Amino acid sequence: MELLDGFITYLSVEKGLAGNTLSSYETDLRKFGLFLRERKVSPAEASTSDIIDFLDFLRGKGYATSTLCRYISSFKALYKYMLLEDLRKDDPSGTIQLPKKWDRVPKALGQKDMTALLDGVQGGRTVLRDRAMIELLYSSGLRVSELVGIKLGDINFEAGFIRVIGKGLKERVVPVNPRALEKIKQYVSEERPGILKKRQSQHLFVTGRGGAMTRQRFWQTLKVIGNRIGIELSPHTVRHCFATHLLEGGADLRSVQKMLGHSDISTTQIYTRVTTDRITKVFKKYHPRA
């Protein structure tokens, strides 16, 4: 689709988007294009009703609210581009509002569960790698795409921080605790050479094929470990835990925002709901007048 190719180029060149973000836009809009094709309508001819019908179709398939929000963002970006390029005179997505993104408080494990997770990685040829990845994920609150994209040169062991490239190619520096750094050092010196088998790679976390660890592979690894200790896990759950436990320990919201790489502090405020919910439960359980 020529329109989509032009739009993706615009996002890449003008907006500096890349990687998973760019891929999400392309996947969403290709799916929308197939939906419109069955109606014999092009994106340039689509109406607000067409977009709403497509969202209803996705909702009927069980898509999460957060995914629907992403689709709406894709539509708004596409039609903004079409207006700029004079491909349309109106924006059919203009009146569509984002649904409430968080229908429920995000799930965060307690600190005891996180300790069980960090201690639950045992055995296997890549045990040091898996321990280092999970420890770093919890230590720094990285997105999974940021975690698997880390290169050896991105870590400053002496200063105790890591440089990551987040959404929109934005660079940030995130602190790493000594425990995580030690696990990374152990993995790099004792296990990584054996995984690579004399091959070379600039990536920190590698697989037996010599390439970088993928998001999907790490997700599967985390799921297996979670099943072993009886906890339902995803990389984003660990990121939730990072933010929630920081706030529970007294960290200020702005600092947590910077470490998570959120451009809008309202996104970070989600985690204050988590801590408030937990405090309320403790109050109701233990206060004599609750």
Residues marked active site are found at: 143, 167, 236, 239, 262, 271
Q: Per DSSP, what are the bridge partners of residue 196?
A: none
Helices (H) and strands (E) in the chain, counts: 14, 3
**How are beta strands 171-175 and 155-156 bridged, if at all?**
unpaired
Give backbone dihedrals phi and psi of 164, rounded to 5 degrees, phi first.
Answer: -125, 155
Gap between the Cα atoms of 194 and 212, Å rounded: 15
Residue 30: C-alpha distances to residues 35, 42, 43, 87, 97 (Å): 9, 12, 10, 18, 21
Length of the chain: 290
Report which secondary-structure segment, H or E, holds 162. Answer: strand 161-165
Lookup: tokens for 182: 């030690």
**Closest among 242, 237, 235, 233 to 174, alpha carbons compared:** 242
User: In angstroms, how far is CA 9 from the centroid of its own chain?
Assistant: 23
Contact status, residue 136 vs residue 184, Cβ threshold 8 Å: yes
